[in-house]
Amino acid sequence: MIGVYDSGFGGLTVLRHLVGALPGRDFLYLGDNGRAPYGGRDAHTLLDFAEQCVEHLFEAGCGLVVVACHTVSCVALRHLQRRYGYPGSGRRVLGVTIPAAEAAVALTRGRIGVLATERTVRSRTFVAELAKLGHHDTVQRAAPLLAPLVEEAWEATELARGACARYLRDLEGASVIILGCTHYPLLREALEAGTGAALLDPGPAVAERLRAWLSRHPDFDAPGEGRLQLHCTGDLAHFTASAARFYGGPLPAPRHVVEAGSTLARLVLDGTPEGQVVRG
């Protein structure tokens, strides 16, 4: 079983490509929407959240975890790989940054733009990875308003188009713009209205890289029954109502997990509580 981890809903835009590329595999998706957004978090908080989420997926039976969150992939991936995916561990943690950078370089020799969260931009991980692939002129822009707009399902509004146009001004001259947040593919129409650059959704590249990686490392996962499970840390009703929009199709009912003793544990809910809530 392959684990896929994201800070919330956005990773479902990656998951749909993974399922499409590997239809016979079993997947477990964990959306940490109860603690989202990640984009403005400090690095050490991100490491704590990422450790808990990755450990939860390993404990659930995943030998391979794909970090579908660009913020975590840019800030915490190396830490996660050293902590959990060392040689002989029988586990691996893969990210989305390098496939995105390679796909961008394959599309252009000109300027590459990166539109992403504040923490992703500040990490400069995309800049470093693109530099490894050649002498590319790279420009970045943090866009902290865009993910919340998508969360509110406002991607088709004038507000979204105005915000996209404002952020894109700082990426003028880019021939390719990497959508460095998994929410942004839902804003494609609004983004295309504000730029003539090609917009790169890393999801297909991530899926193709994973398919190729598994062909070279078959011991880390085996064909299953095509099952898909969902876990989330936030409001169960909100996740259920929003997830299909990001995935682009129907999804199974999610299970709810919460932080308990610095780990994530399953919590069985009897409906959505209202008013004061007291635990025994």
For residue 277, pLDDT over 60 is answered with no
Tell me the residue range of the domain where 184 lies.
97-201
State the pLDDT at residue 172.
94
Q: How many residues does the chain have?
A: 280
Whether 107 and 171 share a structural domain? yes
- Pick the last residue of a domain from 201, 230, 247: 201
Average pLDDT over residues 267-275: 57
State the pLDDT at residue 279.
47
Whether 102 and 117 share a structural domain? yes
- The sheet that has 198-200: what strands, in order across it? 138-142, 112-116, 176-180, 198-200
Pairing mode of beta strands 255-260, 263-266:
antiparallel
For residue 22, pLDDT over 50 is answered with yes
For residue 252, pLDDT over 90 is answered with yes
Whether 194 and 111 share a structural domain? yes
Residue 135 has phi, psi (to 5 degrees) of -90, 85
Residue 186 near residue 246 (C-beta atoms within 8 A)? yes
Q: How confident is the model at residue 272 (pLDDT cuts 50, 70, 90)?
A: low
Over residues 187-243, the pLDDT tens digits come to 999 999 999 999 999 999 999 999 999 999 998 888 899 999 999 998 888 888 899
How many domains does the structure of the chain reveal? 2
For residue 148, pLDDT over 90 is answered with yes
153: in domain: yes
State the pLDDT at residue 192.
97
Q: Hey, is 138 helix, strand or coil?
A: strand
- Pick the last residue of a domain from 154, 185, 201: 201
Please tell me the least confidently modeled range out of 35-49, 63-77, 84-98, 203-217: 35-49
* Cα–Cα–Cα angle for 169, 171, 176, rounded to 5 degrees: 130
Whether 76 and 102 share a structural domain? no
- Pick the last residue of a domain from 179, 201, 223: 201
State the pLDDT at residue 152.
93
120: in domain: yes
Whether 176 and 86 share a structural domain? no
Whether 60 and 117 share a structural domain? no
Which amino acids are annotated catalytic?
69, 181
How high is the mean pLDDT of the chain?
91
Residue 100 near residue 138 (C-beta atoms within 8 A)? no
Whether 116 and 88 share a structural domain? no
Q: What's the CATH number where 154 sits? A: 3.40.50.1860
Is pTM beyond 0.85 here?
A: yes
Pairing mode of beta strands 27-31, 255-260:
unpaired
Maximum separation of any 2 CA atoms in the chain, in Å? 61
Instruction: Check the CA dihedral 61-66-67-69 and report its sign.
Output: negative
Whether 130 and 166 share a structural domain? yes
277: in domain: no
Whether 104 and 187 share a structural domain? yes
Average pLDDT over residues 238-260: 90
For residue 278, pLDDT over 60 is answered with no
Over residues 113-129, the pLDDT tens digits come to 999 999 999 999 999 99
How many H helices and E strands in the chain?
Answer: 12, 11
β-pair partners for 266: 257
